[in-house]
Amino acid sequence: MAPRILLDATAVPADRGALGRYVDGLLRALHELGADLAVACQRADEERYGELAPRARIIKGPAALAHRASRLSWEQSGLPYVARRVGADVIHLPTYMIPIQAGRPTVVTIHDVTLFADTGRGEAGEVWEAHDPVRTSFIKSATRTAARRATRLIVPSRATRDELVRLLDADPGHIDVAYHGVDHDAFHRPSEEEAKRVSDRLGLHGHPYVAYLGALEPRKNVPNLIRGWVRACEGRPDPPALVLAGGAGWDDEVDAALATVPLELRVVRPGYLPWTSLPGFFGGALVVALPSTGEGFGLPVLEAMSCGAPVLTTRRGPLPEVGGEAVAYTEPDAPAIGAALERLMDEPDRRRTLADAAYARSQGFSWTASAEAHMASYEQAVARYPAGGGDK
């Protein structure tokens, strides 16, 4: 008999972001596979999850879950209580947190270990510690605890699995790889009207642009993207704009790099874009440039591919697992990014070939396949859980 799964969605933030897309896509696919589901969530998400998984039992937590400290406390006591109440056979925690006394098998998703890894600017943890040392220390400690105590671990790529073993000495026999999927209805090749609407909203009105989407944090390598784009635009009579969409982040080098941009070049910073605008944003770009130095999977790369965009990224971590031969690659330094962008700007036929190949490859990633891998992990967790309870 299939296990009853309690999915803890209380950590999904209001802006949703990558974690929200992961939980939404996975939950809907698990429901479509007929999984026996219960979902713990914040009150604001009760209706959303009820629509995504109509047969699931939705348990809304107390209003205090909107505050991080209260949620972390609730996960230690309230979540195990909910698991007992709904008769869950396994608890899935889609972030690094885990109840110390869960009383049943636990499966934890560890999305990346970039805080522990060298990203080319010193230890990633040092970068975070300069921003928020208390939060960084807590996340590292919680991740180590989850890696040690969870019955099974799920990671979104082989590269992340290998880093988890290397950096945290995790047991590879307890790690399952489940690639993320992509919502092909939401992320699709845009119509001319969709692309025009986004271009007009950005104030570009048909002018070509290089697109970036993501937080402005050090591992995203935005300063070198800015400097590389400036190099690629040198001497061009009609250079493309650079659009940096997404959250503000905390990379102080971004402003320093922007200060060197010549006056004749245009940078657009629209902040967060509505999800409905992303197909037009990605698919309408000359190039989507995501030259990250550290990822757990690289969901924006896959989403841009699904929108039929030519993508430029790096060979760092799991990005080649996502892009394969369907994207262009660069080293993460500014001269290399500039040279790669320049080649793509000068070769429209290559851009079209990459766009077609990217779209075709993206069709091989689905939330259904991801949900099937998650189900296998849940079943292993239940089967291998000690009869008398306890860790692993």
Rounded Cα distance between 106 and 207, Å, is: 50
Comparing 36-50, 157-171, 189-203, 241-255, which segment has the lowest mean pLDDT?
241-255
Instruction: Please check whether residue 57 is in contact with residue 37, taking contact to mean a CB–CB distance below 8 angstroms.
Output: yes
Give residue 285's domain range. 192-362
Query: In terms of domains, do 209 and 93 share one?
Result: no
What's residue 392's pLDDT?
A: 53
Residue 187 lies in a domain: no
3-state secondary structure (DSSP) of residue 137 = helix
What average pLDDT does range 267-290 have in this prediction?
96
Per-residue pLDDT for 290 more than 90? yes
State whether 55 and 141 are in the same domain: yes
pLDDT of residue 14: 79
Hey, is 328 helix, strand or coil? strand
Query: Considering the domain boundaries, does residue 392 fall inside one?
Result: no
Mark out the alpha helices in 102-132 (DSSP H runs): 124-131
Provide mean pLDDT across the span 140-164. Answer: 96
The mean pLDDT value of the chain amounts to 92
pLDDT tens, residue by residue, 160-210: 999 999 999 999 999 999 999 999 999 999 999 999 999 999 999 999 999
pLDDT category at 118 given cuts 50, 70, 90 is low
DSSP H stretches of helix in 3-86: 17-32, 46-52, 68-86
CA 356 to chain centre: 23
State percent of the chain over pLDDT 90.
80
pTM (2 d.p.): 0.90
On whether both 371 and 275 belong to a single domain, the answer is: no
Contact predicate 59/38, CB 8 Å: yes
User: What tens digit of pLDDT does each residue of 323-376 get?
Assistant: 999 999 999 999 999 999 999 999 999 999 999 999 999 999 999 999 999 999
Read off the pLDDT of each residue in 378-386 and give the average, rounded to a whole number. 92
Distance CA 51, CA 29 (A): 13
Q: What angle do CA 70, 47, 33 make, to 5 degrees?
A: 100
* Secondary structure (3-state) at 59: strand
148 within a domain of the structure (yes/no): yes
Q: Is residue 88 one of the residues assigned to a domain?
A: yes
Q: Are residues 159 and 257 in the same domain?
A: no
Q: Are residues 165 and 205 in the same domain?
A: no
